[in-house]
Amino acid sequence: MEELTFAELSRQCYACLKNHHFENLKGMQLKIIDTAQCLVESDEDVLKAYANDEMLFNVTLMPLQQSFCIKKKCEYKHDQNMKHIKADITNFQELFEKELQYNFVCNEKSEMTKECIKDFMDSLIVKHELRKNTKLYDALLVILCGYGRGDGMLITSEQETISLDYIRARFNHQEIPSLKDCPKIFIVDLQYPKIHTAPMKIINQSQKIYGHDDDGFLIISSIPKAHTEDNLSLLSKCMKNTISSMYKTGYSLNQMLQSIRDDIRKSKTGEWYSIETRDTTDYDIFFEKKNS
């Protein structure tokens, strides 16, 4: 390098790109990462890297931050554990709307029937013009809170069920082609009443979950292995705390998920709690605060 500056490093990184890389730059931004997996964004970062004898840098493309977050909740009538669902909503809203400043849409109804859920999804897709993606969203987050069954079913307020696979399929590339190249993150944070089983370790499963085989999805599911009052909001709490503290330093979502698993494992009810992930993306996902 002619000079140890961020501008010079950026210039050399762009000079290394091939024609097909530039074709993929639409709606993306180039980020430079050092060997410690930290973002390089200033002259100070460059000098620090060279002071530590880090002579190798990685280049990655990140989406321009215009993410769209949908929050759904479906609850039992008059349930005593409503406070835990409300705590989940608060945790996710503080993370994605207040901290990251993403467009955040939350269903405000305390009860949702099967038809209400379908109508809610239809109205979101139309109102926010997702089919053509005219607002140029670069990612979709769908968060599901409420009650569920172990066979991948969401329990509605009238005690009917709706398949989580059905909800996911509403956003696949056949239904919404404009989001084909955008990451679609589903956070399934459900409560499972009257569960009694042996303790299980936290795992990162590669096996099929909910039966989908579509590309571009990352599904994160919380599975309480026992019905205790202590662990019902554990995932949302750990996600809020961990992502808020780690995303600014360039950690990918997969790296942050590992820290979330570690935090849950260390909690007093961690042995009764499992996180399962299903990833059909072929790239790293990074969170970045939306510019006001």
Task: Please state the separation of Cα 124 from the chain's center in Å.
Answer: 19
Span 67-279: which CATH code?
A: 3.40.50.1460
- The pTM of the whole model exceeds 0.75: no
Query: Which of 149-158, 165-174, 195-204 is the most confident on average?
Result: 165-174
* pLDDT of 97 higher than 80: yes
Question: What are the residue ranges spanned by the domains of the chain?
Answer: 6-63, 67-279
Measured CA to CA, the distance from residue 281 to residue 45 in angstroms comes to: 30
**Residue 34: half-sphere exposure toward Cβ, Cα within 13 Å:** 21
Nearest one of 270, 77, 11, 287 to 3, comparing CA atoms: 11
Residue, of 282 and 58, whose pLDDT is higher = 282
What's the pLDDT tens digit per position in 14-62?
777 777 666 666 556 677 877 666 777 788 878 877 777 666 777 776 6
For the record, the structure tokens of 145 come out as 């809170």
Look up residue 265 and give its amino acid.
R
Q: Give the model's pLDDT for residue 150.
A: 73
* All residues at 6 or more sequence positions from 167 whose CB lies less than 8 Å from its CB, including other chains: 72, 117, 121, 142, 144, 154
b/e string for 161-176 if b means 16 or more Cβ within 10 A? ebebeebbeebbbeeb
Q: Give the model's pLDDT for residue 255.
A: 95
What's the pLDDT tens digit per position in 119-159?
999 999 999 999 999 999 999 999 998 888 877 888 888 88
* pLDDT of 207 higher than 60: no
